[in-house]
Structure 1
Amino acid sequence: MFDLYYGDGLKQKARFTGGIVHRINNQASTVTCKPQGTARLPAFSIDGDFVIGGVFSIHLYKHTLRYNYTTVPEPLRCTGSIDYRQLRFSQAMIFAIEEINNSTELLPGVKLGYQIHDSCTSAPVTVDVAFQLSNSLDQAFHTGDNCSQSGMVMGVVGESGSTRSMSMSRIIGSFNIPQVSYFSTCACLSDKMQYPNFFRTIPSDQFQADALAKLVKHFGWTWIGAIRSDSDYGNNGMASFLLTAQKEGICVEYSVSFHRTNPRSKIQRVADVIRRSTAHVIVAFITSAELRLLLEELSREASPPRQWVGTEAWVTNRDMLKYRFCAGAIGFGIEQSVIPGLRDFLLDLSATKVASSPALTEFWEVVFNCRLGTCERMCDGTEDMQTLQNPYTDTSQLRITNMVYKAVYALAHALHNTLCLDTNSSTHCNKNKKLSSNEVLNYLKKVKFNLNGYDVSFDANGDPVAKYELVNWQKSHRGSIEIVTVGHYDGSLPAGQEFQINMNLMFMEGATKAPKSVCSDRCHPGTRKVLQKGKPICCYDCVRCPDGEISNSTDSLDCTPCSHEFWPNAESYSCLPKPVEFLSYDEVLGIILAAFSVGGACLTIMTAVLFYQHRTSPIVKANNSELSFLLLFSLTLCFLSSLTFIGAPSDWSCMLRHTAFAITFVLCMSCILGKTIVVLMVFKATLPGRNVMKWFGPLQQRITVACITFIQVLICTIWLVVSPPFPIKNLTVYKKRIVLECALGSAVGFWGVLGYIGLLAVFCLVLAILARKLPDSFNEAKLITFSMLIFCAVWITFIPAYVSSPGKFTVAVEIFAILASSFGLIFCIYAPKCFIILFKPEKNTKKNVLNKK
């Protein structure tokens, strides 16, 4: 509300709407408009044809007021120490305006004025300043009969804090006053629906958040802590960072926030969280003022070393370098620039200039420890700005200062395009043109120029192109900590090419190698990650891949099964061909069985040779020498047939081994059956009136052997035709080996040939038992009985052993059964006879043969 004073001394109220003071009751012709309350004086100001406003957080705090509601509240005022860097920013704005006023190319003939206010780093003061910039500093103003808008600035440079910029934009945006911030980075300010008048020369935090996430990922830090300012800047910036970090697979152990106005107990709790944490890396989306409070708290008590990763809000602030335990900090800063003449301007503080500004007076008295205009430690005029070394005078790395510089020039170019007409020879500007802030706003959107080698322009959201320097706090050879540029980030480059590091970095505690900050160590190939219950995805256990599966990459989530003919190596990161297993001649078992097979065949041949040499002897002639030689021949084949089971199976070997074994054994059984029948027939022939031998002579014996053997040949032929044995790779017996074996083809055929052999063996055994007590000194029935008992015992035990034996041992069991039964036959039937022939020749006589009990 405003008080209206009329010429007759009457006083009425007026209302403030849209920057215009309206009279309520038009009862007099003379109207005087007066703002309610006390006008807020700027820290620095100068008149001009057009005025540009500036808002800087020169002081750190606002004086706290206690309202008693009985008196008018005193005006808002600043307190606390001066932020020398912010003071330099304000002076850089003055320097830029004076440079523009002296320019013959930009706004020639037009003088720019300025009103620079101190916001005290406070949103309420910023709001107060925003209203002040929307009106004149005059205590009273009028234009005839109606109050009118007067003294409005054409644009505002500021604020530094995002929250304060949001507050200011909502006020001056109603009047279309353009606002160009040099240090407000919150991505929320890019929303043109809410902040249509907002521009900035510093990139949005969205770009910085993406860059920080890529930086953290680059060094393999997947377990981090996060601290932020409890403000729009910190909360929105950290939210953007955490969203991008999550996509990069980065986990956050803790995320805490605080504000500089919080009680110390809150800051202590934040410090304790950092001390207790296991994350070695801290990402700080925080302002310098708040981080300073936290670092002060951390410095009071020894804390574990931490790797700090920061934003441009503090990582390039030289005031922070005094916290030496943060050496090695890394983060993104605004690109450096050189502003010619700025340092000389900053140092050119005359006594008159200092005395005219309360802010400069306070600065002068603090840095030189003296007082102006008082007797107590009075400044004597010998104070020299050249001797000062503080953030105000430090122009070695002009980053945010250059953002202020560009903001002023951006507004000047917008005014130039509005007021001036450029021709080939000259530029003409109409400084008397009635100009609205809306015109300046529209032209500001199209601004594009080059300043000190840097392009200045704004996109549709009022943001510039995102470009950062990667900076690192490194210890110099003098022991001091310096901010060193080690890389760059350019958001305009294609994805994957934005980020680069040009030189070596220094990390916490002076290390040249990046520290390790993970919740769990990486899972090596051969293992997979299993998440720990109730913890983030970065916390996991490394579990060995199950049998038959591999993982060939680090931090694999799953293991991949090997194909059927492959098996993992010992470390489970590669699939190797499974070793092939079969009973071969190269292994001990194969050699032993082959030796017994050949030895048995040789023994049989030697027996046959011995019988042939003594073929005329009574003992050979008395036991059917023809069937004896045929039996020896079949036994030789039986021994040799076992060799077909040794070696790698093939189509021919699989068919040969089973059929050869089946036929030779049936031939052997038929010979034994014939010999047994002969013994019985001989005994029957000795009885009076019996002449049965004529029915079982040599011809009948041959026919019997041939017929019995033919039946087995017929069974084997049908087997081979219908479903013959064939080689297979058995992958089920062993997980890690392939067993080459012969599949039976038709199980009926296999068990058919075995059953036929078993039937013959049982028949031979029965006949031999019937003939075992016949009164013949060389009765073979006894020997055949023992041999058949051994034969049957071997093959009865063969069946369960064959079924239960795995892999190549199945073949070994079959060979063993063949050899054992073959040896049983030759030893039981022929060994006694060979013994008599060789060692008891006196018994090898006809008389002894015919001797009957």
Structure 2
Amino acid sequence: MGNDWSVEQVVGKWFNSLDIQTEELIWARGTKDIPISACSLPCQPGMIKKQQGDTCCWVCDQCEEYEYVYDEYTCVDCGPGKWPHGDKRGCYELPINHIRWDSAFAIAPAVISCLGIVATLAVACLLFHHRDTPVVRASGRELTIILLAGVLVCYLNTFLLLATPTTVTCILQRFGVGVSFSAVYGALLTKTNRIARIFDSASRTAVRPRYISPASQVCIAAALIALQVVLTLVWMIIEPPGTRFSYPDRKQVILKCNIQDMSFLFSQLYNALLILISTVYAVKTRKIPENFNESKFIGFTMYTTCIIWLAFVPIYFGTGNAHETQITTLCVAISLSATVTLVCLYSPKVYIIVFQPDKNIRRKVTMGDKSKKQGSSAGTSSITKCEYSLVSRNIKKQR
């Protein structure tokens, strides 16, 4: 028919079965591939079929990265803490993360804590060796023991916070952080309150105020610490201790103590109140005579502590999804608070004991026919009626 032509060629035969020589076939457009005659193609691994209307055809749809192929038509979420295999045919448990001791997040705070523990024990041993000298007696030996014990526990808290969370370590964390701070700042509050009451009373009357003896001071500090213990017990009743899994994203599982960030903050409100009141007393007593100047060092301690915790709070809550950073920040903040207390309060005493022992001697104050020994700083030591009378007369002369 005109220029149209066709050629017939045998490409196969039938003898009980079809035998086609595909290499002899000529397809449209010169292609050598056999055309596919199918409504839809099989889906690749990790994909499911989605029917198109009422026909038998489908389109292939990819499952989400956290889903596995339940059947050829359904994707199912693996759930928290699990992730699908590469072929999407099932899920496996994700590894549980917590701070490792060999990571920088643990090494840095642990080194700081170890140095602090060594420094605290060295100061404690030095003060114990010179416990009968005026400098040590003037600082109030009983409250010094409580304060240094609180500082030591502050440093030890680092190892509790870095340890693998268990019910026991989580309980110790709650008591450790709260009680250590209440011991430190309860003792400081007791010191500053005593100094303030002595000078306030001395400016008005010659009668010595009540509850300024060492035994009374220990009882007051112990009561402040006991209140923190009670609050911690209430906290454990409201929010039982234990561990929980946290999922910052679908591919991470973090083992943490069962402590919400806000509940931890509220648990420290009592200690924040102790810090605030101690700071107020430190400001009130900043201009007292030089012989009572321990209040100035307490003031330095409280001002620096306030700065540390004002900086810590936004960092702590701003790193809520970075568990390692959050724990490291908390450890460093606690250690810094303890270091500030240790350095500001005890470095002057250590300096006098070690480098200026000539200043660490008793001075005699003559009272009529009697000669009484008095420390060079009576601000936080036991004060006698005669000493109180001297303080009262000195204040009135200054006025």
TM range (shorter): 0.7 to 0.9
Contact residue 179 and residue 229 of structure 2 kept, 8 A: yes
1:837 Cα deviation (Å)?
Answer: 2.8
Separation of aligned partners in 2, 1:816 and 1:782: 25
Counterpart residue number, 1:525: 45
> Which sections of structure 1, spanning at least 5 residues, go unmatched?
1-262, 269-295, 300-319, 337-468, 475-506
Of 206, 210, 218, the match for 1:690:
206
Greater C-alpha radius of gyration: 1
**Residue 844 to residue 686, structure 1, CA distance change in 2 (3 Å):** farther
Contact residue 585 and residue 646 of structure 1 kept, 8 A: yes
Is residue 284 of structure 2 the alignment partner of residue 770 of structure 1?
yes
Over aligned residue pairs, what C-alpha RMSD do you find? 3.8
Is residue 65 of structure 2 the alignment partner of residue 550 of structure 1?
no
For 1:17-75, what per-residue CA distance to the aligned partner results, in whole angstroms no more than 9, with x for missing partners?
xxxxxxxxxxxxxxxxxxxxxxxxxxxxxxxxxxxxxxxxxxxxxxxxxxxxxxxxxxx
Of 19, 26, 29, the match for 1:472:
19
Of 713, 718, 721, the match for 2:237:
721
For 1:483-512, what per-residue CA distance to the aligned partner results, in whole angstroms no more than 9, with x for missing partners?
xxxxxxxxxxxxxxxxxxxxxxxx4259xx
For 1:544-565, what per-residue CA distance to the aligned partner results, in whole angstroms no more than 9, with x for missing partners?
5323123489xx5553321322
**Residue 607 to residue 516, structure 1, CA distance change in 2 (3 Å):** farther
Contact residue 565 and residue 738 of structure 1 kept, 8 A: yes
**Residue 524 to residue 633, structure 1, CA distance change in 2 (3 Å):** same
Structure 2 letter corresponding to 1:764: S
Separation of aligned partners in 2, 1:793 and 1:548: 44
Structure 1 letter corresponding to 2:269: G
Contact residue 69 and residue 76 of structure 2 kept, 8 A: yes
**Residue 850 to residue 558, structure 1, CA distance change in 2 (3 Å):** closer
Contact residue 619 and residue 844 of structure 1 kept, 8 A: yes
Is residue 124 of structure 2 the alignment partner of residue 612 of structure 1?
no
- Going by fraction, where is strand more abundant, 1 or 2? 1
1:651 Cα deviation (Å)?
Answer: 1.9
1:753 Cα deviation (Å)?
Answer: 3.0
**Residue 686 to residue 545, structure 1, CA distance change in 2 (3 Å):** same
Separation of aligned partners in 1, 2:128 and 2:288: 27
Counterpart residue number, 1:583: 99
**Residue 620 to residue 577, structure 1, CA distance change in 2 (3 Å):** same
Of 285, 289, 303, the match for 1:789:
303
Counterpart residue number, 1:799: 313
**Residue 734 to residue 264, structure 1, CA distance change in 2 (3 Å):** farther
Contact residue 569 and residue 576 of structure 1 kept, 8 A: yes
1:664 Cα deviation (Å)?
Answer: 1.9
Structure 2 letter corresponding to 1:470: S
Counterpart residue number, 1:753: 267
Counterpart residue number, 1:15: none
1:527 Cα deviation (Å)?
Answer: 4.4
**Residue 741 to residue 622, structure 1, CA distance change in 2 (3 Å):** same
1:580 Cα deviation (Å)?
Answer: 1.1
Structure 1 letter corresponding to 2:249: Y
Is residue 259 of structure 2 the alignment partner of residue 744 of structure 1?
yes
For 1:119-140, what per-residue CA distance to the aligned partner results, in whole angstroms no more than 9, with x for missing partners?
xxxxxxxxxxxxxxxxxxxxxx
Separation of aligned partners in 2, 1:779 and 1:824: 17
Structure 2 letter corresponding to 1:559: C
- Greater shift in the superposed pair: 830-839 or 637-646: 830-839
Of 337, 345, 350, the match for 1:829:
345
**Residue 516 to residue 814, structure 1, CA distance change in 2 (3 Å):** farther
Separation of aligned partners in 2, 1:674 and 1:526: 68
Of 724, 734, 739, the match for 2:249:
734
Separation of aligned partners in 2, 1:643 and 1:264: 97
Of 323, 327, 332, the match for 1:811:
327
**Residue 724 to residue 508, structure 1, CA distance change in 2 (3 Å):** same
Superposed counterparts of 1:12-31, under 5 Å: none
For 1:266-315, what per-residue CA distance to the aligned partner results, in whole angstroms no more than 9, with x for missing partners?
xx8xxxxxxxxxxxxxxxxxxxxxxxxxxx63x5xxxxxxxxxxxxxxxx
Separation of aligned partners in 2, 1:694 and 1:569: 74
Counterpart residue number, 2:387: none
Contact residue 545 and residue 559 of structure 1 kept, 8 A: yes
> Which sections of structure 2, spanning at least 5 residues, go unmatched?
26-31, 364-374, 379-393
Contact residue 526 and residue 552 of structure 1 kept, 8 A: no
Contact residue 549 and residue 560 of structure 1 kept, 8 A: yes
**Residue 516 to residue 592, structure 1, CA distance change in 2 (3 Å):** farther
Structure 1 letter corresponding to 2:172: L
Superposed counterparts of 1:119-518, under 5 Å: 297=6, 299=7, 322-323=9-10, 327=11, 329=12, 333=14, 469-474=16-21, 507-508=22-23, 517-518=35-36
SS of aligned partner of 1:739: strand
Separation of aligned partners in 1, 2:312 and 2:89: 42
Separation of aligned partners in 2, 1:600 and 1:523: 63
Separation of aligned partners in 2, 1:581 and 1:700: 48
Separation of aligned partners in 2, 1:830 and 1:664: 18
Separation of aligned partners in 2, 1:612 and 1:757: 28
SS of aligned partner of 2:376: helix
**Residue 522 to residue 835, structure 1, CA distance change in 2 (3 Å):** farther
Structure 2 letter corresponding to 1:714: V
SS of aligned partner of 1:729: strand
Separation of aligned partners in 1, 2:322 and 2:86: 23
Structure 2 letter corresponding to 1:734: D
Contact residue 80 and residue 250 of structure 2 kept, 8 A: no
Is residue 155 of structure 2 the alignment partner of residue 639 of structure 1?
yes
Separation of aligned partners in 1, 2:49 and 2:360: 84
**Residue 547 to residue 796, structure 1, CA distance change in 2 (3 Å):** farther
Structure 2 letter corresponding to 1:548: Y
Separation of aligned partners in 2, 1:692 and 1:570: 81
Q: Which has the higher contact order (CA 8 A, sep 6+)?
A: 2
Structure 2 letter corresponding to 1:833: K
SS of aligned partner of 2:83: strand
Structure 2 letter corresponding to 1:742: C
Counterpart residue number, 2:391: none
Contact residue 525 and residue 572 of structure 1 kept, 8 A: yes
Contact residue 46 and residue 63 of structure 2 kept, 8 A: yes
Contact residue 85 and residue 92 of structure 2 kept, 8 A: yes
Of 214, 219, 228, the match for 1:703:
219
- Going by fraction, where is helix more abundant, 1 or 2? 2
Structure 2 letter corresponding to 1:702: V
1:755 Cα deviation (Å)?
Answer: 1.1
1:836 Cα deviation (Å)?
Answer: 3.1
Contact residue 135 and residue 377 of structure 2 kept, 8 A: no
SS of aligned partner of 2:290: coil
Separation of aligned partners in 2, 1:560 and 1:824: 55
| Percentage of identical aligned residues | 25
Contact residue 135 and residue 360 of structure 2 kept, 8 A: yes
1:472 Cα deviation (Å)?
Answer: 0.9
Contact residue 725 and residue 745 of structure 1 kept, 8 A: no
